[in-house]
Structure 1
Amino acid sequence: MIDLDDVGALRRNDPQGMGERIAELPWQCRQAWEIIESQPIPADYAQADSVVILGMGGSAIGGDLVRTLVRDLCPVPIFINRRYDLPRFVGQDTLVIASSYSGNTEETLAAFREASRRGAKLLALTTDGELAQMAKNPLTFSYVAQPRAALGFSLVMLLGILTRLGFVPDPAPDLEEAIEVMKELGSKLREEVPTSQNAAKRLALLLRGKLPVIYAAQHLAPVARRWKTQFNENGKCFAFFEVLPELHHNTVEAFPYPGELAEKGVILLLTSRLYHPRNILRFQVTEEMLDRYGIAHWSTEAEGRSLLSQALSTIHFGDYVSLFLAALRGVNPSSVETIAYLKKRLAQA
């Protein structure tokens, strides 16, 4: 097992530099905002009566975050589409934004073709690939990384599109705050910060050999999904997430009967002072119940004043935890061998 305070060993375990990509999230966000401010977007797209964001995996999570963050600001509905096909309502008055880092995600391409056939208003976010060829004026960026490590681009560029079209107010002040909060937080979480002072390393050690289940609500619900997928892809371990208050209508009935979960599971609670007061109370009662039934749990409160800052800073923290989990498990956090095998098999069909 790698010693998390052995910086050399950590970097040898990370030959493609996932740790560097994680550290660059604040820079990504600022760069993405500068890019989208200068990209051409047809003015008549502001007349759309709905927005559909196409994407999978690391390219879709930006859409999840944007939809949740602008929920109370955007006058038109936003729908995230993780499928080959489209819902029936998509048509000429729908703004369809395809988000694919590689530009070759087959589900996204299939749905984008269908949107084109229906005459939808089309935009594409990508680095290259077939999507860049299909789109008339793709909104492109250049960044060498795994798609999941380019979240700053997909999230902020989507937010910029909605801003440019007048669907949401200018988020620049909140974005600037988020960048500063992430920079400060990141300085406490990087590889060279010892475990005694590094909360991400300590949480990774707590999760070693365990099954993480992440609980969140409201603007942090997609952050819980992000933690789950980062633990899967970077840490190569199983993880799951659930959302309050929904889990209080089903999952809690299993609390008195934890079985193997009492030994293997750890519930991670992502809390926020910006939650609805009843949800704040629900988290408090959840912790009481977990204590009552002997289920291990850990909680953190999101940092920052705005929804955007809290979401991004909590993502930044979880990304570092996934990096250190990979080190403890002795796996390369950038590798995607199983996903590559799956794509190869599908291509043979």
Structure 2
Amino acid sequence: TLSNLYEYDNTLVESSIFSLYEPSLRAYWKFDSTDPFMVLDMTTNSNIGISINEPIRVSTLFGNGMYCDGEDDYAELESLHNSQFSEYTIHSWVKLTNYTDDFGTVFGTVNDGRTWLGINSENYFEFKVLSGNELYISPITNNSVEAKLGVWYNLAATYSESQDILRLYVNGTLVSELGITPSHSIKTATNYNYMCRGQNGEYLNGTIDNIAVWDRSLNSDEIQYVYEQPLGFGNYQSFKTDDGVLSTSPALNDTDNDGLSDSEEVYFGEDGYITDPTNQDTDNDGLNDYDEIFVYGTNPTNNDTDSDGYDDKYTFLINETTGLRTNQTGDAFPLDNNVHNDTDSDGVGDNSDAFPLDSNESKDSDGDMI
């Protein structure tokens, strides 16, 4: 049957665009991580997006997606290509919550070449590219699709300077195309690339999911295949098997259960440190990374924060008769390289304590030992 013939074609398509030997897939964001701050790239290119103004993760047809409020929610990311695109494909699923008075951007590139995929002010899906000094906009045709609220749509758009054309697809079907002047090439700017916003705002009010970018122009069979394979893109072997953060668990936000999220440990470092998301004790000093940062104020990547030769972790025994600390190891004062022991546990180091065996006394101004 025709269906079976198409399945055979899909097998060929899968082997050509989702194999280990196809490097043109620059990024693939599934939004399935529970991390609220990052949009993790499932390819080995690690094109990580940073959430701005708290877009939220919501359940979608294919796991989780990212909901944007149409006012100021978005995600931004650095260059995907390290040079301007001359061949380009963008793919996304989108569901609108409300229309906006302006263009609602699903995905926009700026520093890789200015392109925008989204919904125009008349509520039609649209693809725009600034090439040469001309803004090319996919025209409204008899096949154009007017977006309805609360309905999931699959969008894909291609731009090709070798073919001098841009195309827009909705649900795997070509709905619009426009020729490009042969001498024109895509224009860039210094801004980020964006999800849910354009270069100058143009925010989306809706949910996006399963966004992918290729640095070549996919053909119609390939676009149809991607539309029919929303859950994992076939056998693409370069996808990371975890959540995109080193070797962490794809099901956990805090793989090593140390109180720090995987992204905070590896990428953000808002606490000032990059730590191991698979090890609660990065510097192996016996102290949990979270405790070192937020309880003790020590360096979780250095087992001797004050460099006095004594580890940050401090241990001791209590003499039941005297009540004093014995067998002291490590550093009772990990932020002070002048002291390390505190036998009477009065908070004053032994070498600064005039009465190191008396927790009620520490100073002796006249040196009379009283």
Indicate the structure whose relative CO is greater, using CA pairs within 8 Å and at least 6 residues apart: 1
What TM-score, normalized by structure 2, do the two folds share? 0.26
> Which structure is higher in helix share?
1
Structure (1/2) with the larger strand percentage: 2
Larger radius of gyration: 2
Normalized against structure 1, the TM-score is what?
0.27
